[in-house]
C-alpha cells in the first residue's frame, strides 16, 4: 500500500517551518527558520511576515530535497489556519493556495494548538494524557473527551511564555535562540527566592499581575543589590511553574487521568518538566515531554495533524483556506481520535482496511446517522454517542426475539428475515428504546463501508426505513 505523505507549513509566530511527514508519524524532513530581533525587543507582525516571505520557498525546496520526494508523491498540503499573528499566518495561507493550484493537491487547514498535541502524542507515545500546552501565545490545560480536546483551565490574560519573554526584555537578555531559553539558563544560577504574586483562580491562572510587579520592582532591587538577575529569573520560573503544576494536577483529578503531556515552546523548559515529573510520580503517573525539535513550532506537526484529518476524508476547499488569529482548541472535531477509538474495538486500524468475512451469528442491527446530529452505538449495555459518522456501525446481538414485548416495542415493526437476521435503519429514539428493553451483552463487531443507497427515517418516526443489501 502506498504510504500517505503530507507537506505542512507553520508560520503563526516568529518561526516559519516546512515539514514532510507520513501517516505513521515518520518525519522525513522538518526545516525551519526563526526571526530573531535585538535584545530588549519583541517581533512585530509586519517584519515577521517579511521574514517568512523571504525564507518560505527555500524551506520548501530544502524539505523536499531532505525527504527525497517530489511534489507528485505528496497527498495533501497542510497549513496553520490559526491561532496566531495575522500577517505571519497570511504567508502560509497564500503559499498553500499557490502550491495547491500548481501541484493539483488538496488543502487541509490545521489548528495550531491541536497540532502541538498530536505531535507530542506521536513522538512520546502518550495515549490519553492530560495536556499542558504552554507557549508564547497560549496557556491551556486540555484533555480529550467526546471527539474534541476540551479546555479545563487556561490563562485569563497573557500566556506564560509571553510573561517570560517580556521579562527577558526588561533584563535585556538575548533573543537568540529564544528569550525564554536564556531566562531558563540564568535561573539555574539563582540562589535567592523572592516572593511574587501567585494568582490561581479555580482552574485558571493569571500572569499579567506577576509581570507588572516584577517589572516595577526589578530596577530598584538590582540597584540596591537586594538580588541578582539570576535570582529574579529563578523566582519568576518557580512561581509561574508552580501555578501550572497546581491547575494541571487539579485537571488530572477531575478527569481521572495519571499521565501528563507537555507541549508548546515553554514545554522545553527542563525545570518545568522536573516539577511536573515530581507531581506525576506522586500520583503514580508518567510525564511525557519532548525537546526543542518538537516542542517549538515546526512544519512537521502541521503536516502530521493535517494528514490525520485527510486520512479520514477531511479537506479544506480553496475558497475556505483562510486564516484567523482566534481559533480555539476545542473548536476542532478530532475525527481521527474517534476513529482510533473505533479501531480499538473493531481491529480496523487504518482507512480502507479489509473487513473480516466471519461476522458471527445472531441478529444484526445497522444504525445509520444520516442527517442526524448524533447516532448511538450500543456496547456492553452502555450508550455511546458519536457525531455525524459517514460510515455504518454494525452491531452483533444474540437472538433477542423472546426478550421483546411484541405489542409495544418498535422492533416489533421491523422486517425480520429468516433466522432473525435483520438489516435495518433506525433513528436515535428507536435505538435508545432498544437499549432500555434488551438486557443482554452487546458487542460492536465491524465498521463497514458506506452503502450505495440508503433511506433514513424522520427522527420522530420509529418505523424501519427498509433494508440494505450490502456485501462488505
Domains of the chain: 5-120+296-338 (3.30.420.40), 126-291 (3.30.420.40), 354-448 (no CATH)
For every residue of 275-322, DSSP letters joined together read HHHHHHHHTT--EE---HHHHS--HHHHHHHHHHHHHTT--B-GGG--
Q: Please indicate if the annotation marks 20 as binding a ligand.
A: no
Is pLDDT above 90 for 348? no
For every residue of 194-210, DSSP letters joined together read ------EETTEE--HHH
169 vs 73: CA distance, rounded Å = 45
Q: Please indicate if the annotation marks 284 as binding a ligand.
A: no
Task: Determine which helix (DSSP H) or strand (DSSP E) holds 159, and give its type and residue range.
Answer: none
Cell of 163: 510573561
Residue range 99-116, pLDDT digits in tens: 999 999 999 999 999 999
Q: Please indicate if the annotation marks 133 as binding a ligand.
A: yes
The pLDDT value recorded for residue 372 is 26
CB atoms within 10 A of CB 143: 18
Q: Please indicate if the annotation marks 297 as binding a ligand.
A: yes
Cβ–Cβ under 8 Å, residues 76 and 6: yes
Is pLDDT above 50 for 443? no
Q: Please indicate if the annotation marks 374 as binding a ligand.
A: no
The burial class, CB within 10 Å (0-12 / 13-18 / 19+), for 461 is middle
Q: Please indicate if the annotation marks 112 as binding a ligand.
A: yes
Q: Using 50, 70 and 90 to split pLDDT, how confident is the model at 94?
A: very high
How far is C-alpha 56 from the chain's CA centre? Answer: 25
Mean pLDDT of the 363-369 span: 36
Q: Please indicate if the annotation marks 282 as binding a ligand.
A: no
Mean pLDDT of the 431-455 span: 35
The pLDDT value recorded for residue 366 is 40
Mean pLDDT of the 251-276 span: 97
More confident residue, 432 or 210: 210
The pLDDT value recorded for residue 425 is 34
Cβ–Cβ under 8 Å, residues 152 and 244: no
Q: Please indicate if the annotation marks 157 as binding a ligand.
A: no
Residue written as grid cell 495515549: 127
Q: Please indicate if the annotation marks 184 as binding a ligand.
A: yes
Separation in Å, CA 302 to CA 76, 254, 267 = 11, 30, 18
CB atoms within 10 A of CB 340: 15
The pLDDT value recorded for residue 2 is 77
CB atoms within 10 A of CB 219: 10
The pLDDT value recorded for residue 380 is 29
DSSP assignment letter at 398? -
Residue range 292-341, pLDDT digits in tens: 999 999 999 999 999 999 999 999 999 999 999 999 999 999 999 976 65
Residue range 64-79, pLDDT digits in tens: 999 999 999 999 999 9
Q: What percent of the chain has pLDDT over 90?
A: 70
Q: Please indicate if the annotation marks 125 as binding a ligand.
A: no
Q: What is the dihedral of CA 144, 157, 265, 259, to 10 degrees?
A: -30
Cell of 286: 508518567
Residue range 382-441, pLDDT digits in tens: 333 333 333 333 343 344 344 433 433 333 333 333 233 333 333 333 444 444 444 433
Q: Please indicate if the annotation marks 191 as binding a ligand.
A: no
Cβ–Cβ under 8 Å, residues 52 and 88: yes
CB within 8 Å of 85: residues ≥ 6 apart = 12, 13, 45, 48, 325
Q: Please indicate if the annotation marks 208 as binding a ligand.
A: no
8 vs 299: CA distance, rounded Å = 5
Is pLDDT above 60 for 458? no
The pLDDT value recorded for residue 338 is 79
Mean pLDDT of the 207-224 span: 96
Amino acid at each position: 500500500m502506498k504510504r500517505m505523505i503530507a507537506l505542512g507549513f507553520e508560520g503563526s509566530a516568529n518561526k516559519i517551518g516546512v515539514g514532510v511527514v507520513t501517516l505513521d508519524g515518520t518525519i522525513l524532513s522538518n526545516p525551519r527558520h526563526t526571526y530573531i530581533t535585538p535584545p530588549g525587543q519583541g517581533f512585530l507582525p509586519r517584519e515577521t511576515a517579511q521574514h517568512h516571505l523571504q525564507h518560505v520557498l527555500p524551506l520548501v525546496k530544502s524539505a523536499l530535497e531532505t525527504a527525497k520526494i517530489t511534489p507528485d508523491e505528496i497527498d495533501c498540503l497542510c497549513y496553520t489556519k490559526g491561532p496566531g499573528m495575522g500577517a505571519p499566518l497570511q504567508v502560509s495561507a497564500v503559499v498553500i493556495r499557490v502550491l495547491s493550484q500548481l501541484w493539483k493537491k488538496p488543502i487541509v487547514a490545521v489548528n495550531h494548538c491541536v497540532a502541538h498535541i498530536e505531535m507530542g502524542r506521536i513522538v512520546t507515545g502518550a495515549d490519553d494524557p492530560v495536556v499542558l500546552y504552554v507557549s508564547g501565545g497560549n496557556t491551556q490545560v486540555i484533555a480529550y473527551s467526546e471527539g474534541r480536546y476540551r479546555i479545563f483551565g487556561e490563562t485569563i490574560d497573557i500566556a506564560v511564555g509571553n510573561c517570560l519573554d517580556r521579562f527577558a526584555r526588561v533584563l535585556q537578555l538575548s533573543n537568540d535562540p529564544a528569550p525564554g531559553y536564556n531566562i531558563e539558563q540564568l535561573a539555574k544560577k539563582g540562589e535567592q527566592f523572592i516572593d511574587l504574586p501567585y494568582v490561581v483562580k479555580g482552574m485558571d491562572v493569571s500572569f499579567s499581575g506577576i509581570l507588572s510587579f516584577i517589572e516595577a520592582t526589578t530596577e530598584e532591587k538590582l540597584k540596591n543589590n537586594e538580588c541578582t538577575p539570576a535570582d529574579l529569573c529563578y523566582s519568576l520560573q518557580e512561581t509561574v511553574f508552580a501555578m501550572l503544576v497546581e491547575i494541571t494536577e487539579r485537571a488530572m483529578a477531575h478527569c481521572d487521568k495519571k499521565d501528563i503531556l507537555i507541549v508548546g515552546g515553554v514545554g522545553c523548559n527542563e525545570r518545568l518538566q522536573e516539577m511536573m515529573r515530581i507531581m506525576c510520580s506522586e500520583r503514580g503517573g508518567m510525564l511525557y515531554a519532548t525537546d526543542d525539535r518538537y516542542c517549538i513550532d515546526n512544519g512537521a506537526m502541521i503536516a502530521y495533524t493535517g494528514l490525520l484529518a485527510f486520512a479520514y476524508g477531511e479537506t479544506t476547499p480553496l475558497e475556505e483556506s483562510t486564516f484567523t488569529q482566534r481559533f480555539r482548541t476545542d473548536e476542532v472535531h478530532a475525527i481521527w481520535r474517534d476513529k482510533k477509538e473505533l479501531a480499538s474495538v473493531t481491529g480496523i486500524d487504518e482507512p480502507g482496511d479489509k473487513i473480516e468475512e466471519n461476522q458471527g451469528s445472531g441478529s444484526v442491527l445497522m444504525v445509520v446517522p444520516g442527517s442526524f446530529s448524533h447516532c448511538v452505538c450500543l456496547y456492553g449495555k452502555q450508550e455511546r454517542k458519536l457525531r455525524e459518522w459517514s460510515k455504518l456501525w454494525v452491531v452483533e446481538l444474540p437472538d433477542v426475539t423472546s426478550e421483546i414485548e411484541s405489542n409495544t416495542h418498535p422492533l416489533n415493526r421491523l422486517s425480520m428475515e429468516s433466522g432473525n437476521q435483520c438489516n435495518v435503519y433506525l433513528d436515535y429514539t428507536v435505538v435508545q428504546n432498544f437499549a432500555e428493553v434488551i438486557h443482554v451483552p452487546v458487542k460492536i463487531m465491524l465498521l463497514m463501508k458506506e452503502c450505495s443507497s440508503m433511506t433514513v427515517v424522520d427522527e420522530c418516526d420509529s418505523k424501519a426505513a427498509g433494508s440494505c443489501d450490502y456485501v462488505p
